[in-house]
Every structure is written in structure tokens, then in C-alpha cells.
Structure 1
């Protein structure tokens, strides 16, 4: 285990913080105007994160901006995976409130603080 993981992130249960709303994979496909197979490929290739909630794989709505995935999200997911985070831990990290951003890393990915989020994710690997 990596010592730089957020407190309480064990991967054994739902994150304590999280998105306000979720999209099912078919909803993601519709929003992105791609096939459901393409959504599964995006998840496999770490362009998008999906976790099971109530037995259904879901994607945080904030991570799918209009008809695209947040620009820096794939890079951040790769950096977190390289730092040893599993999907639940990545989700927790993305939605952990951070007054220095302000908000959460997931919210910051939609604005001018996206590169800062990427730098912080990269620092977790060291």
C-alpha cells in the first residue's frame, strides 16, 4: 500500500465523499454519441472511470463534460493507477474536498486548475 493514499481509502467499500450524480454506461454512450462497446473500451483504457453502485457500473456525471470526457481525466487516472490506487480509491481521491483547489480534484478538472490536479496526482507516485 502507498502511504500517500487519502485517509479512509481502503477500496473495501464506497467512498465517503463522491459525486452528486451518476450516469449508467448506456447514458454515457448516449451523451458521448458512441456505442456502449466504445464506453467499455474507454473504461478498459483508463480514459474513464466506472465503479459499481447498487450493482450497476456507473460513471460520475461531472467527468463527462457535454459530449467529451474531461480533458485531463485520462492522464490523472493513469497517474493514480501507477501510484497503486484501485478504482474506488481513485474515485475517493477525485472527490476528496480540497480547500487549496478549492472544491475537489474532479471539480477542478473542469476549470483552470486541471493541470494542478494532474501535478498532484503525479506527485503521489513518489
Structure 2
């Protein structure tokens, strides 16, 4: 399906807005994407780069700012090491996983990091 990712994710944040929410320069957000620490996809009519809003969380050390969801980096690395491309990773993160009873991104956001990563271990191919 063309641009399937748009329907997988309930809310997107465009890169300039991600930079504002993180309190960092736009180039630093682009670096996070380039380094595989954050996934970005082209969405909307303008096909601008955006990240899933679920990848951001309030930064406890900087009130009023967000941070990249802390367990996301390890999960992205684990899925990449399992052979998943960016779309497959996004699909897995935002689709309800039977063994978790929820989407893996929701498990990561609620602190069920080990459980989500165990579910991902069976994905290697």
C-alpha cells in the first residue's frame, strides 16, 4: 500500500516541531534520523518528514520539553539487527502484538521494555 505508514500512526510531528519540542536545532533532529535513533517518514499533502508522536515523551529533567522515548533507541537497534527495514519496524511497533496484548510502542511507553524486547527477539530472520 502506498504510504501505508500514514495509517499506522495515529499522530505525527513534523521535524521542525520535533526540534522545538526537544529544544534542539533542526539539524540535530535530522542527525537522530540519519543515525537510526529516530524514524521519520514523509506524510501529509506536502510529504514533509515527520516522526510518530508516540516516539516523544515529556523530559523529566526539563519541564516543558520532550525527549525521544528512552527505550526507543535500543528497540530500533534490535529490530534493525533482526533484519527489519524502517517500514517493517514501524509496522511492528504500531500493530497489536498478541504476546503483549497491545502495540509494542504502547508497551515501551508504559515501561514494559523487557517484555516488548522479548517479543521482538523472536523476529530475527
TM-score interval, normalised by the smaller of the two chains: 0.7 to 0.9
Query: What is the RMSD of the two structures over their aligned residues, measured on CA atoms?
Result: 2.0
Contact 1:16 1:92 in 2 (8 A): no
Per residue, is there more helix in 1 or in 2? 2
Q: TM-score, normalised by structure 1?
A: 0.81
Q: CA deviation at 1:100?
A: 3.6
Cα distance in 2 for residues equivalent to 1:82 and 1:12: 25
Aligned residues: 116
Moved over 6 A (4+): none
Cα distance in 2 for residues equivalent to 1:84 and 1:53: 24
Aligned partner of 1:7 in structure 2 is none
SS of the residue corresponding to residue 58 of structure 1 reads: strand
Larger displacement relative to structure 2 (34-43 or 17-26) = 17-26
Q: List runs of 5+ in structure 1 lacking aligned partners.
A: 1-10
SS of the residue corresponding to residue 85 of structure 1 reads: coil
The structure with higher relative contact order (CA 8 Å, sep 6+) is: 1
Label 1:17 to 1:122 Cα distance change in 2 as closer, same or farther (>3 A). Answer: farther
CA displacement 1:91-112 (0-9 Å, x = unmatched): 1010011244232111111113
Aligned partner of 1:8 in structure 2 is none
Q: TM-score, normalised by structure 2?
A: 0.81
Aligned partner of 2:63 in structure 1 is none
The alignment status of 1:118 with 2:117, answered yes or no, reads: yes
Contact 1:43 1:49 in 2 (8 A): yes
